Amino acid sequence: MVIVAALMWLGHLLLGNDLAGGWLLVVGSTFCIAGVGVAVTGFRTMVAAHTSPSPTQIDLVKYMVTGGIYSRTRNPMYLGMALLLIGLECILANVWLLLGPLVFVFFIQRFQIAPEERVLLHKFGLEYEGYRQRVRRWI
């Protein structure tokens, strides 16, 4: 996410603004605040359940967390990051920068979420499969 945000900032410096309106700052800020809130809530829920929130240590996950925000989205931390990038795109006010959040979502889904899901399915079996059927990946 940080790399995509940095590339978006660089794109803004090179391309400038092509969208007008101070309302974009309000919309962008709202998305950023919502994104941080969703991501932090997901993280805190994992910590409160005494299981690993680290995407690089998925094998350390002890329990499936399906309550709270995890009853609405299977990936609140990634969703929060995507919302934050959408907010940044609005603040930077260039339609081409919307490629940033799209690339992030594609990359994270292909190279992080899919492998995580395979590990969780192997670890928790039918319990995880049922959860996957009940709760959407994003929203």
* Model pLDDT for residues 34-45, shown as the tens digit of each residue: 999 999 999 999
Is residue 8 one of the residues assigned to a domain? Answer: no
CA–CA distance, 31 with 37 (Å, rounded to integer) = 10
Is residue 129 one of the residues assigned to a domain? Answer: yes
* Model pLDDT for residues 58-79, shown as the tens digit of each residue: 878 888 999 999 999 999 999 9
* pLDDT band for position 16 (cuts 50, 70, 90): confident
- Three-state DSSP state, 6: helix
Number of domains in the chain: 1
Domain that holds residue 73: 31-134
- Residues 90-104, mean pLDDT to the nearest whole number: 93
Mapping DSSP onto H, E and C, the string for 94-134 reads CHHHHHHHHHHHHHHHHHHHHHHHHHHHHHHCHHHHHHHHH
How does 35-44 read in b/e, with b if 16+ C-beta sit within 10 Å?
A: beebbebbbe
Is residue 25 one of the residues assigned to a domain? Answer: no
Q: Could you give the angle at which helices 76-92 and 99-108 cross, rounded to 10 degrees?
A: 160
CA–CA distance, 128 with 80 (Å, rounded to integer) = 22
Which letter does DSSP use for residue 72 in this model? Answer: T
* pLDDT band for position 131 (cuts 50, 70, 90): very high
